[in-house]
A and B are shown apart, each in its own frame.
Chain A
Amino acid sequence: MKHTIIAAGLTVVAGAAYAQAPVLTVYTYDSFVSDWGPGPAIEAAFEAQCACDLQFVGAGDGAALLARLRLEGDATQADIVLGLDTNLTAAARETGLFAPHGIAPAGLTLPIAWDDAEFLPFDWGYFAFVHRADLANVPTSFAALAASDLSIVIQDPRSSTPGLGLLMWVQTAHGDNAATMWEGLSDNIVTVTPGWSEAYGLFLEGEADMVLSYTTSPAYHLIAEEDAGYAAAAFDEGHYMQIEVAGMLAGSDQPELARDFLDFMLSPAFQEVIPTTNWMYPAALDPALLPAGFDTLIQPDTSLLVAPDEAAGMRDAALAIWQSALAR
């Protein structure tokens, strides 16, 4: 009799645990989970189809996210990490924490081919200098910018992913001349901020003529504020890309669900949320489905991107060049 009660009790406990929806934990950067980011809409859309509980955990930005994952190692509770970019994927792969996704992505709309066993892209954008539309003599290259007396605000590559993106941009576009280019730019740089928000804030307050941001930034002002007064400068060298990716963890206790999420990530229900919440290009959405206003943005002729493995090697040298050129 006693045993039956215990057994019955166990069944109830087990039943309760079973009835509880499985939890999928997604680590991402903070602005993704905020109320103004894509997080809430995506959580609702995925939970409507997965019979699970999608839990976002925010951690700073992409680089902080990777640091957090390295800190936790095998013991991490994350099933998915979403929000690394291609400058970080080599280091992320090296941790050995990620599992192959096993998905053959169809319908990707990136300007480049994608082939990566661990990471799948969810959005992308071009770095660009954003200015007010009434700015005279908008520069068309780094050289023109360096020669002008226009003022710019940039981000520190050590603490910000756009800052690092600019470093890679100058490096890929000007290679051996990167040092000279940075010296030429140094008198245009009003200041360097820790993150994107501070730089953009300073620009909006009129502290500089241009700010390092994305070609999609003017779309925010146009769509959300109905203000057509901002534009991005198209550079002849081409524009460096940022591709944001997600991957599933090898130690996940929900591998099926994690794979379902990655599939969902490339579906319209996820992709349609991206343009007007993350203000980036979705990675797998027919351009005809982009919101009105995105057609007004500049389209760079050349897309620059360093392969993840090379990016990791280039980074430290590029940082040293940047630091010594700007320290003068």
Chain B
Amino acid sequence: MAALVTLGVLAPLGAVMARADWPPSLGPGDLAAIRFTLVQAALSALVSVVLAIPVARALARRSFRGRGALVTLMGAPFLLPVIVAVLGLLAVFGRAGWLNGALAGIGLGRIDIYGLQGVVLAHVFLNLPLAVRLILQGWQAIPAERIRLATALGFSHRDMRRHFERPLLRAVLPGAALLIFLICTTSFAVALILGGGPRATTVELAIYQAFRFDFDLGRAALLGLIQVAICVMAGAFAFGAIRRQEVGTGLDRPALAWPGDRLLARLADTAAILAAALFLLLPMLAVVLRGMPALPSLPPQVWEAALRSILLALSSTVLAVALALPIALLAARLARPALVEVLAFLTIAVSPLVIGTGLFTLIRPFANPVALALPVTGLVNALVALPFILRALVPAAMAAEATQGRLADALGMAGWARLRHAILPRVIRPLGFGAGLAAAFSMGDLGVIALFSMPGQGTLPLEMYRLMGAYRTDDAQGAAVLLMALTLALFWAFDRGGRFDAATR
């Protein structure tokens, strides 16, 4: 892991640093940018996980028709390219959006989305799905036997909270919040567009400015180092707050109805699911409605780019899973697995612009980086996806080690047999989820290809941006729908695959 992070993050950072004038110094607005970045990311993470709790609880306790489809669809915002998500949000919450239209229709004033509230709203929109899924996993980790026991003991609503929910949330919330916090610290376009102007300058934008406005590589690298520091400190804080979930051993029997259910709880769950579905799906619906008409007549280059993107996403996913699985299994047996994960988090906490620029200078002496644009993009995408897979995988792997692992050791199982029979069945579901995230992420992210592009090599997000940049907004919106559909399909295929293969369920 250390080697990977060095390769993917620290070496590029060092390469940028090496090209800079010494000593580097921060610019006038940089401290304000750091402050704003921390405030908006902390708020976004906090609001995301707090709102995710009732939604995850409701999804864990209720089963209804279409629940699986809803869970998958509700994940869409997280998988979308930022600009598509922003346009979708604005169609609902913007000045000319549905909400303001409705408010004006009943004679009420207009809400203003631009400002810190808009930044947080957008980040919650983008990350609530991730928070819900990560917390939902905590619920799903409770063995059915425990719930049976609780039912037999006549546990009330309050007993369930005390004995199950609180320890579970203590175990999953800090990690989920940390992940979202770090994603939001490198936010740039969302923060600027919805922040309403230069007040909403983030560290990432400051890096952009240092790099291309002032060509001050030292400042860019220094700001990258500050991102590393933010990541390490936030990681120490969050993992310090994690209390391991003592889930106990189970036989992986199917889940049962939640004990201590009441009418009030049922109503609250229904409200939480409805509210989340409306909040997450309406902007998606806006994107689909806007883009559908252009879908059948999309230019052939867009379809070629789509194929390229799918292949790229699949290779990134294979690579990411091949890296993540051994790391997670090793980490699960360590005394301090958090350290490994914090290292992995660096890949999302450090500016893609700095990493891309660093990689570019590192590759140049040996090969033409432009010719390697697609492989490099695939590699970087895999590294960036690593923390998501690990966050999904490590807790499950730890639980498997603590329960079935011990049993397997007692039975003298080792090697492949131990992995195949004791550990894999327990991590396959989070692995599928993580692989789905990796694939979707690689599919939807613009990635470093924007720095290395060459004609005829564009990925689907890049082609979409190119269409937008050439006034072809209708085609761009059509491409966005295609991108959304493909990304969701990839995510669904992996996530679903994880569920099917859970042989013990």
Chain A residues near B (Cβ < 8 Å): 30-31, 33-37, 39-40, 56-60, 63-64, 66-67, 70-72, 75, 77, 91, 151, 156-159, 186, 189-198, 200-202, 204-208, 217, 220-221, 224, 279, 319-320, 322-323, 326-327
Measured CB to CB, the closest approach of chain B to A170, in angstroms, equals 15
B468/A197 in contact, CB under 8 A: yes
A60/B450 in contact, CB under 8 A: yes
B19/A71 in contact, CB under 8 A: yes
Does B472 make an interface contact (CB < 8 A)?
Answer: yes
Known contacts A70-B215, A158-B205, A192-B196, A197 near B453 by CB under 8 Å: no
List chain B residues, Cβ under 8 A from A151.
95
Does B458 make an interface contact (CB < 8 A)?
Answer: yes
List chain A residues, Cβ under 8 A from B364.
72, 75
CA gap between A70 and B16 in the complex, in Å: 12
Among B198, B212, B468, point to the contact of A326 (Cβ < 8 A). B198
Among A34, A57, A207, point to the contact of B469 (Cβ < 8 A). A34
B83/A201 in contact, CB under 8 A: yes
Does B155 make an interface contact (CB < 8 A)?
Answer: no
B196/A30 in contact, CB under 8 A: no
Closest to B455 in A: A33
List chain A residues, Cβ under 8 A from B357.
71
Closest to A206 in B: B96
CA gap between A258 and B195 in the complex, in Å: 45
Q: 16 A-B residue contacts at CB 8 Å?
A: A30-B450, A30-B453, A35-B299, A39-B455, A63-B213, A64-B212, A156-B192, A190-B95, A191-B197, A192-B196, A193-B189, A194-B205, A206-B94, A206-B95, A207-B96, A327-B199
CA gap between A224 and B474 in the complex, in Å: 12
A190/B114 in contact, CB under 8 A: yes
Among A35, A58, A189, point to the contact of B301 (Cβ < 8 A). A35
- What is the number of contacts between chain A and chain B, taking CB atoms within 8 Å? 155
The 8 A CB mask of B462-482 against A (1 = contact, 0 = none) is 010111111111001000000
Known contacts A72-B364, A192-B196, A158 near B471 by CB under 8 Å: no
Known contacts A39-B455, A205-B91, A156 near B205 by CB under 8 Å: yes
Measured CB to CB, the closest approach of chain A to B451, in angstroms, equals 7
CA gap between A156 and B192 in the complex, in Å: 9
Does B17 make an interface contact (CB < 8 A)?
Answer: no
Does B194 make an interface contact (CB < 8 A)?
Answer: yes
B87/A194 in contact, CB under 8 A: no
Closest to A43 in B: B455
Does B90 make an interface contact (CB < 8 A)?
Answer: yes
List chain A residues, Cβ under 8 A from B465.
197
Does B504 make an interface contact (CB < 8 A)?
Answer: no
CA gap between A326 and B192 in the complex, in Å: 13
The 4 closest A-B pairs by CB, nearest first: A206-B96, A36-B470, A34-B466, A197-B468
List chain B residues, Cβ under 8 A from A57.
370, 453-454
Contact residues of B: prevailing secondary structure: helix
Known contacts A63-B212, A71-B357, A201 near B453 by CB under 8 Å: no
Known contacts A36-B467, A220-B471, A190 near B196 by CB under 8 Å: yes
List chain A residues, Cβ under 8 A from B370.
57
Closest to A322 in B: B198
Does B156 make an interface contact (CB < 8 A)?
Answer: no
Among A34, A36, A207, A323, point to the contact of B95 (Cβ < 8 A). A207
B193/A59 in contact, CB under 8 A: no
Does B29 make an interface contact (CB < 8 A)?
Answer: yes
Measured CB to CB, the closest approach of chain B to A32, in angstroms, equals 10
Known interface pairs A40-B455, A197-B83, A198-B86; 17 further A-B residue pairs with C-beta atoms within 8 A, sorted by A's residue number: A36-B470, A66-B212, A71-B19, A71-B360, A91-B215, A158-B213, A191-B194, A192-B192, A194-B188, A194-B189, A194-B205, A198-B468, A200-B468, A201-B83, A202-B193, A207-B90, A207-B96
A30/B469 in contact, CB under 8 A: yes
B215/A67 in contact, CB under 8 A: yes
List chain B residues, Cβ under 8 A from A37.
466, 470
List chain A residues, Cβ under 8 A from B476.
201
List chain A residues, Cβ under 8 A from B299.
35
Measured CB to CB, the closest approach of chain B to A231, in angstroms, equals 15
Does B361 make an interface contact (CB < 8 A)?
Answer: yes
A201/B468 in contact, CB under 8 A: yes
Measured CB to CB, the closest approach of chain B to A35, in angstroms, equals 5
Measured CB to CB, the closest approach of chain A to B216, in angstroms, equals 10
Measured CB to CB, the closest approach of chain B to A150, in angstroms, equals 12
CA gap between A202 and B96 in the complex, in Å: 10
List chain A residues, Cβ under 8 A from B212.
60, 63-64, 66-67, 159
A30/B91 in contact, CB under 8 A: no
Measured CB to CB, the closest approach of chain B to A311, in angstroms, equals 13
Measured CB to CB, the closest approach of chain A to B30, in angstroms, equals 12
CA gap between A279 and B470 in the complex, in Å: 9
A191/B193 in contact, CB under 8 A: yes
List chain B residues, Cβ under 8 A from A30.
450, 453, 466, 469
B198/A56 in contact, CB under 8 A: no
Known contacts A190-B196, A191-B193, A205-B94, A159 near B469 by CB under 8 Å: no
Known contacts A35-B301, A205-B87, A191 near B114 by CB under 8 Å: yes
List chain A residues, Cβ under 8 A from B211.
67
Chain B residues 426-468 with CB under 8 Å of chain A are: 450-455, 458, 463, 465-468
